[in-house]
A and B are shown apart, each in its own frame.
Chain A
Amino acid sequence: MEGKHSIPNRLNLLKKIGELTRSLVEDLCNGRSPTLKIDQFSSYCSEDSGKCCCSYNLPKGKEILTLQRESQSRRFDALLRVLLIVQQLLQENKHGSKRDIYYMHPSVFKEQSVVDRAVNDICILLQCSRHNLNVVSVGNGLVMGWVRFAEAGRNFDCISSPNTAHQIPVHVEDVEDIISVAEYILIVEKESDHYAFDDRAVFQRLANDQFCRKNRCIVITGRGYPDVPTRRFLHLLIEKLRLPVYCLVDCDPYGIDILATFRFGSMQMAYDAKSLRLPGIQWLGAFPSDCEKYQLPQHCLLPLTTEDKQKAEGILHRCYVEREAPSWRNELQLMLDRGVKFEIEALSVHSLTFLSENYLPSKIQMGAFI
């Protein structure tokens, strides 16, 4: 029955795996070549008129895997082998990563990407998320501020010490009892390609300045491009707390791509967009237009490289930008026109506490987000 199977818990998934296998065996018994129909999802395309049919929860088409073609039969084989491992994971209620799965049959899989694709295909076929298959990924997120929650019997009380960072739990499905007195959620992200290991630098700055002592909020950071547990955790917080969410990223194409990943989802996880995307998230900064507003010194403005420009153009032409965030286009275009980028740290040049005492509170109060 449709209703019973729509909750992707362990037993339902095991049932679905059983049914899938049965249908393949039936095909074989009746002399038919087995096929698998896999929906295709795409979080965006480059048709920027806004008239495409990209949608976050509807497939764009179907792919049919058969054993007739050699390349497809390899994919078929990999899929079934991974399915067998997933079945074992679910039966024994153990967890494994995609890398672990690869090493179980390295001679068959030959490459990690084969396993990654098989896991995605299985999620689409069984209509579930990756964590439902007990396939886990590493979680790198940190949370601090005015929130309290419990995970698997342990209490995370960020309220008692609002400037201490706690790790975001990996098994978000076990998070419960969320209580908060925050007024908003602030996400700070940087992609680190510098020699400073400083991908948590802005978060550290806020902790050091005791930002949460004076501002009733929850601050979250991942490590650059957000990982799945961090995104799921945010999704849960927003669902339960219904707070406004602001995002602070570097004013460069990678920062904006990170923002877009939070809001619209990533291509790789396009099939699971509806449980990962955060449509309410708003871009707080840093904007190209902040240069004049906050009188950033010229030297902090670094030139856009060729890759930067290509990336910015790419984001500008993504269909979802036109459809859902047209106000972002102006700022992106401004960045391309000027040909410069800057990092969040540029705002602290004149005063180290400028970010936490000035920029953030005033922007939020004035509603200067898009």
Chain B
Amino acid sequence: MGELSKNSIFFSDQHLCHADILPPSEVRARIEVAILNFLKNLNSSNPEVTDLPLISRKMGNSRVRRGLLTDDSKIFLSHSFSTKSLMNENTANSFIRVWKVMEMCYQILIEEKKVTQRELFYKLLCDSPQYFTSQLQVNRTIQDLVALVRCSRYSLGIMASSRGAVAGRLLLQEPNQEIVDCSTCGSSGYAISGDLNLLENLVMKSDARYIIVVEKHAIFQRLAEDRVFNQIPCILITAKGYPDIGTRLLLHRMSREFPELPILGLVDWNPAGLAILCTFKFGSIAMGLEAYRYACNVKWLGLLKDDIEQLVPEESLIPLKPRDHQIAKSLSSSEILQDKYKEELSFMVQSGQRAEIEALYFHGFDFLAKYIGKKIVQADYI
């Protein structure tokens, strides 16, 4: 039974929790309902301060939903709750923080504005200095609020920052604007907006045959500049590091609009690179309630162990950092990795080394494009 509910696409899905994307009026309504219920309990014949039930964002509560007929896998958070109680000394302060952030977001929603996380930090700092001391704390509390009212961060009025870019054989059009041709955007590509509504409404057309997700900005720039999409008909997309919501949303939309296009990931050969690939592929536990929404079936094109052995000279390998080992540990202990990925990861850790994609330049300037082309043609990805 446990196995079934873990890996099923049937009714047990209803236990899998997610955050809704709602218009401001509905988010306000949810907050108002929460407050009214809280007050009702305070006012009842058995008055009590209701505990806050938050979906637990820990590994133990994460589940993998594997597609039966497709290769899509996603991380969901199940319905295990962690409670924050005012009566409990350990959670009293974080209990109060959740209400404070709720109040602040409510006000912002009434003004029909949006706020950045940093601005929210300063507002909270000035409003309630005894409860808020760091940005990290604010970020966690925001996630708590998401877990409580089950609305996405963006619906709560918090601006999404975006660093991503896209280039290649893709035509984009904002409603009532001119068509943008991403193959003539130069080596910096088209900047992906932080406005999630805008991204949802972009009209997309493409004659590409592949979508290539690139981890690093430098590699994206190199490929865009060399116009690799003219030799290999593809769309290039990057988040320039850890994937942000905007980039993931756009990638997800592309996977829905162009379902025949395989999505291939090009990352450095190290645990951090694999972690980035996995975030695009499955979502993340920290943003568990929103994560699943934008998961896509990304395949690992490179760098892979065989590539390292055949193409990367010994001197180009760099030792793994302590952080890499930490990431490797948490990746291998999660259930989501398939066997081949686990193999690659353990090989990385055993060798104690990592390699950057730039190491392929050992074979000359043109080599990267040839490498990608050859691997695609041979379907050499996992």
Residues of A whose CB lies within 8 Å of any CB of B are 88-89, 92, 94-97, 99-104, 106-107, 136, 138-140, 142, 151-154, 157, 160-161, 164-171, 194-198, 200-201, 204-205, 208, 297, 299-300, 343, 345-346, 348-349, 352-353
Contacts and interface: CB of A to CB of B under 8 A. Distances in A.
B194 A204 contact: yes
Given A96-B365, A352-B111, A196 B116 contact: yes
A195 B190 contact: no
A352 B113 contact: yes
B56 to A, nearest CB: 21
Q: Which 10 A-B pairs have the closest CB atoms?
A: A167-B188, A107-B315, A106-B315, A297-B126, A196-B117, A201-B116, A100-B361, A103-B361, A154-B184, A198-B118
B186 A151 contact: yes
21 contacts: A100-B361, A103-B358, A106-B315, A139-B187, A140-B240, A154-B185, A161-B177, A165-B193, A167-B185, A167-B186, A169-B188, A170-B186, A170-B187, A171-B187, A196-B135, A196-B161, A198-B118, A201-B116, A201-B117, A204-B161, A352-B108
B191 A166 contact: yes
Interface stretch (B47-55, B217-225, B276-284, B370-378): B217-225
Contacts, number: 145
Interface residues of B, number: 55
B371 to A, nearest CB: 13
B125 interface: yes
Contacts of A102: 358
A11 to B, nearest CB: 20
B18 interface: no
A171 B186 contact: yes
B229 interface: no
Contacts of A164: 193
A102 B190 CA distance: 29
B341 interface: no
A121 B381 CA distance: 42
Contacts of A96: 361, 365
B317 to A, nearest CB: 9
B221 A104 contact: no
B114 interface: yes
Given A139-B221, A200-B163, A349 B123 contact: yes
Contacts of B244: 197
Contacts of A208: 114, 159
A153 B183 CA distance: 12
Contacts of B221: 136, 138-139, 170
B186 A201 contact: no
A164 B226 CA distance: 26
A108 B116 CA distance: 47
B217 A138 contact: yes
A198 B161 contact: yes
A94 to B, nearest CB: 5
Contacts of A95: 222, 225
Contacts of B184: 153-154
A200 B111 CA distance: 23
Given A160-B178, A299-B126, A94 B313 contact: no
Most buried by A among B174, B186, B244: B186
Nearest to B242: A197
